[in-house]
Chain A
Amino acid sequence: MTTGFVFAITGGALFALGAAGIVLIGDLMRRILAFNLMGSGAFLVLVGLAQRYDVADPVPHAMVLTGIVVAVAATALALALVRKLHALTGEIELPDDADE
Chain B
Amino acid sequence: MNEPLIDPLVWLILLPLAWATLAFVLGPGRGGWLAIAGLVAQCWLAFNLAQQVSAGVAVVHAVGGWGAPLGIDLAVDGLSAAMLLLTQTVALPLAIYARSYFKASDPAGAGFWPLTGFLIAGMNALFVSADLFNLYVTLELVGLAAVGLVAAGGGAQQVAAALRYLFATLVGSGAYLLGVALIYGVYGTVSIATLLPLVTNEVPRLVWIASALIVSGLILKTALFPFHFWLPPAHGGAPAPVSALLSALVVKASFYLILRLWLGPLQSVLPAFGWLLALLGAAAIFWGSWQAIRAVKLKRLIAYSTVAQLGYLFLIFPLLAAPAALQAAVMQAFAHGLAKAGMFAAAGVLIKATGQDTVAGLAGAVERLPVTMFAFALSGITLMGLPPSSGFLAKWQIIQAALAQGHWIIVVVVLAGGLLAAVYVFRVLRLGFLSTPENVTFTPVSRVLEWSAFALAAASVLLGLRGVELIQLLGART
Contact = CB atoms under 8 A, between A and B. Distances in A.
- Please tell me whether chains A and B touch each other in their complex, using a CB distance cut-off of 8 A: yes
B15 to A, nearest CB: 22
Given A15-B174, A50-B185, A60-B184, A66 B166 contact: no
Please report whether the interface of chain B is mostly helix, strand, loop or mixed according to DSSP. Answer: helix
B160 A85 contact: yes
Contacts of A77: 144, 147-148, 166
Contacts of B188: 50, 57
Contact of A85 (B159, B167, B181, B236): B159
A11 B185 CA distance: 13
Interface residues of A, number: 43
B185 A49 contact: yes
Interface in A20-70: 22-23, 28, 31, 35, 38-39, 41-43, 45-46, 48-50, 57, 59-60, 63, 66-67, 70
B149 to A, nearest CB: 12
Interface stretch (B150-158, B342-350, B421-429, B469-477): B150-158
A63 B147 CA distance: 23
Contacts of B181: 11, 42-43, 45-46, 49, 60
A97 B234 CA distance: 10
B137 interface: yes
B162 interface: yes
B177 interface: yes
Contacts of A41: 178
Contacts of B182: 45, 49
B205 to A, nearest CB: 13
A55 B31 CA distance: 50
A45 B156 contact: no
Nearest to B186: A49
B140 interface: yes
Contacts of A95: 156-157, 160
Interface in B158-184: 159-164, 166-167, 170-171, 174-175, 177-178, 180-182, 184
Q: Which of A19, A28, A42, A73 counts the most chain B CB atoms within 10 A? A: A42
Given A39-B174, A85-B156, A99-B295, A94 B163 contact: yes
B156 A82 contact: no
A95 B161 CA distance: 9
Nearest to A86: B159
Contact of B233 (A18, A48, A97): A97
A89 B160 CA distance: 10
Nearest to B178: A42
Q: Which of B151, B154, B236 counts the most chain A CB atoms within 10 A? A: B151
Q: Which of A22, A23, A39, A46 counts the most chain B CB atoms within 10 A? A: A46
The 5 closest A-B pairs by CB, nearest first: A49-B185, A46-B181, A88-B156, A45-B181, A42-B178
Interface of A: 8, 11-12, 15, 18-19, 22-23, 28, 31, 35, 38-39, 41-43, 45-46, 48-50, 57, 59-60, 63, 66-67, 70, 73-74, 77-78, 81-82, 84-85, 88-89, 94-95, 97, 99-100
Interface of B: 69-70, 133, 136-137, 140, 144, 147-148, 151, 154-157, 159-164, 166-167, 170-171, 174-175, 177-178, 180-182, 184-186, 188, 190, 232-233, 236, 295-297, 300
13 contacts: A8-B185, A19-B175, A35-B167, A48-B185, A66-B133, A74-B140, A78-B166, A81-B147, A81-B162, A81-B163, A97-B233, A99-B232, A99-B297
Given A46-B177, A46-B185, A50-B184, 19 more contacts: A23-B171, A38-B170, A38-B174, A49-B184, A49-B185, A59-B69, A60-B181, A60-B184, A67-B136, A67-B177, A74-B140, A74-B170, A78-B166, A81-B151, A85-B160, A88-B155, A95-B160, A97-B161, A97-B232
